[in-house]
Amino acid sequence: MEFSEYFPVWDKLTPVQQQMLADNATLRAVPKGTVVHNGSADCIGFLLVRTGQLRVYILSDEGREVTLYRLFPRDLCVMSASCILRGLQYDVTIEAEKDTEFWQIPAQRYKALMEESAPVANYTNEVMTTHFSDVMWLIEQILWKSFDKRLAAFLLEESALEGSPTLKTTHETIGHHLGSPREVVTRMLRYFQDEGLVKLSRGSVTLLDPDRLQALAED
């Protein structure tokens, strides 16, 4: 079964466990734009991405979306199984950003596997921890420090000064201007790139969507 190539700890499972997964993982294909999961009440199970791309985001009262992270082929989605993650009551929306195929594993089946397999439990823990870390970073930078706004405003100003959508500058230089470490600049620029706002190349940043950058800067 092809699933085995996408599930990182497959080789650490017993034949019985492998068979259980093979019997219970259902391959689904959804078109771009499909809302796969919506809120904590919804518990469709663990998802393992085969092709395409899923976007996990939260929605504010005012309808502003903040992308938390994206899931690519071989990524496991745990938020769609919130019902079995004791203590998790956090509402996110998961949307297919491209035509996407994923295996869906019923929450209770996966939970039973986690309970008997340390490799599966640790793998799941690692996925959770990584997402936790990404989300905390993003929320701190965006909601607390408004770094996204400040960076968007800076890029627009520089672009106006240079009369060009392409800025020849390093992340370190941007960091000096904004009083932020280079790593923070790099990470936020990549976030902007994933959101389709800019394009990054060696030694330059190109503004792809000045209107949305302007909206972000004024938000």
Nearer to a copy of itself, 98 or 149 (CB): 149
| DSSP one-letter code for 209 | -
Q: Which is nearer to a copy of itself, 1 or 112 (CB)?
A: 112
Q: What's the burial of 102, exposed, middle or buried (CB within 10 Å: 0-12/13-18/19+)?
A: buried
CB of 217 to a copy of itself, least distance (A): 18
- Under rule CB under 8 A, which residues in 132-151 are in contact with a copy of itself? 132-137, 139-140, 143-145
Q: With contacts defined by CB under 8 A, how many residues of the chain interact with a copy of itself?
A: 35
**Binding of residue 19 to a copy of itself (CB under 8 A):** no
Question: What minimum distance in Å lies between the beta carbon of 122 and a copy of itself?
Answer: 5
Could you say whether residue 129 binds a copy of itself (CB under 8 A)?
yes
What is the 3 state secondary structure string of 126-187? HHHHHHHHHHHHHHHHHHHCCHHHHHHHHHHHHHHHHCCCEEECCHHHHHHHHCCCHHHHHH
47-66 binders of a copy of itself (CB under 8 A):
58, 60-61
Q: Which residues pair with 26 in a beta bridge?
A: 104
- Stretch binding a copy of itself (CB under 8 A), from 31-39, 88-96, 100-108, 166-174: 88-96
> Residue 219, interface with a copy of itself (CB under 8 A)?
no
Structure tokens at 85: 């993650």
Distance of CA 152 to the CA centre of its chain: 20
89 binds a copy of itself (CB under 8 A): yes
Q: Is residue 161 exposed (0-12), middle (13-18) or buried (19+ Cβ within 10 Å)?
A: exposed
For residue 199, list its beta bridge partners.
206
CA neighbours within 13 Å on the CB side: how many for 100? 26
Yes or no: say if 69 and 56 are a contact pair by the CB < 8 Å rule: yes
116 near a copy of itself, judged by CB under 8 A: yes
Query: Does residue 1 bind a copy of itself (CB under 8 A)?
Result: no
| Stretch in the footprint of a copy of itself (CB under 8 A) among 1-9, 28-36, 117-125, 161-169 | 117-125
Residues lying near a copy of itself in the complex (CB under 8 A): 58, 60-61, 85-90, 114-122, 124-126, 128-130, 132-137, 139-140, 143-145
